[in-house]
Amino acid sequence: MRNQAIQRTPAPPGDITLEDYQRAMLNILEDASEEKARLEQTERAVINILEDFATEKRRQEDTQRAALNILDDFSDEKDRLEEMQRAALNILDDFSQEKGRLEQTQRAMLNLLDDFGMEREKAEAANLQLRETIASLRRAKDAADAANRELEAFAYSVSHDLRAPLRTIAGFGEVLYEDYFDRLDEEAKDSLKRIIEATEKMGQLIDDLLNLSRLTRAEMKRERRNLSEIVRKVAEAKKKAHPDREIRLEIEEGLYAEVDERLMSVVFENLIGNAFKFTGKRESARIEFGSTNQDGRRVYFVRDNGAGFDMTYAGKLFQPFQRMHGDKDFPGTGIGLATVKRIIQRHNGTVWIEAEKGKGASVYFTL
């Protein structure tokens, strides 16, 4: 096609030959081809530049985004720093408050130390007074022990001094009763009986007082014992002594306690004995031993359906020689319940009584 184009080209004017023209055209074409190549290189270079520019642009965009991210991070860090600053300020405020509290605590501790010093002085004074009180109590105990020993000796002495004239009176009374009873008129016989009964009662009073004194000072040996069995032995013995009476015994089983068995036998001798005595006018007597709970503590009781009494005078019953009934109705010396109270107190317990006239009585005690 290039040759055809050359052939169609008109002949150059003048002296320029066709070959020159063709060479010139070839040169031009070669130059054009080289220019085209340069243009293509330039184009490729431009394209490369554009690509490099695009890459650079992307790098710049990445850099810009990184910078924005850094700015965002910096903003977040700035916020965190501000929060840390605020937290630090709060900590300083809290520290200031804590410092104030510590100062107050320190002042309080100093005041406490001052108070402790004063309290220590008071305690030392109280200890001194307590030691003096203990020493005084020891002296009082020694004096009480001595007084009790003297009282016991006096009781024995009085009992022996009283027994001699009582034996004399009782002896002569029996002589008169046996040898001269038929010679006496009715008034003299009645007086003689009264004298003999009075001497017997006086002898019983002396025996009861001596027993009360012994029980108050007797050595105790507390062991776990079955109270139900102790009561049963006492009650069965009392029942055999009254074979003609209808008496129903109700004894709760398995009641154990730490007691001195000998002393508790004396307690039940008196309580069961009183129950037998004061139900003597009942056709059908009922005597009960059992326990109940009051305010979380075990309370034992002996109950009967006997004569009872007016509770107005109940406070006197546990005092020696205090009685609610006359000898004609229910004979006795008035020592039994006083003895019971002493023994229960020696067991660190309390005793009280509840009754209603004509409906019986209940004696309660704790150990």
Dist CA 17 CA 19 (whole Å): 5
Evaluate if residue 150 carries a pLDDT over 60.
Answer: yes
The pLDDT score that the predictor gives to residue 322 is 62
The pLDDT score that the predictor gives to residue 1 is 44
Band of residue 323 on the pLDDT scale cut at 50, 70, 90: low
User: Mean pLDDT across the chain, nearest whole number?
Assistant: 81
Burial class (CB in 10 A: 0-12, 13-18, 19+), 220: exposed
Asked if the structure places residue 61 within a domain, the reply is no
Evaluate if residue 349 carries a pLDDT over 90.
Answer: yes
Q: What are phi and psi of 247, to 5 degrees?
A: -130, 125
How do residues 92-127 score in pLDDT, each as one tens digit?
Answer: 788 778 887 878 888 888 888 888 778 888 888 888
Percentage of the chain exceeding pLDDT 90? 19
Band of residue 189 on the pLDDT scale cut at 50, 70, 90: confident
Measured CA to CA in angstroms, residue 120 lies from 12, 116, 127 at distances of: 142, 6, 10
- Mean pLDDT within 327-331: 57
Asked if the structure places residue 250 within a domain, the reply is yes
Asked if the structure places residue 105 within a domain, the reply is no
What value, to the nearest 5°, has the Cα angle with vertex 115 and ends 113 and 121? Answer: 105
Q: What's 230's domain CATH number?
A: 3.30.565.10
The pLDDT score that the predictor gives to residue 3 is 45
Asked if the structure places residue 68 within a domain, the reply is no
Asked if the structure places residue 297 within a domain, the reply is yes
Structure tokens of 213?
């004194």
| Range of the structural domain that residue 336 is part of | 222-367
- Considering its fold, how many domains does the chain have in total? 1
Dihedral sign of CA atoms 153, 156, 159, 165 in order: negative
Asked if the structure places residue 311 within a domain, the reply is yes
Asked if the structure places residue 85 within a domain, the reply is no
Percentage of the chain exceeding pLDDT 70? 84
Residue 272: name the closest of 254, 284, 256, 288 by CA. 288
Asked if the structure places residue 367 within a domain, the reply is yes
- Mean pLDDT within 141-169: 69
Give the residue, 216 or 91, on which the prediction is more confident: 91
Write the DSSP symbol of residue 283. Answer: S
Q: What are phi and psi of 257, to 5 degrees?
A: -160, 160
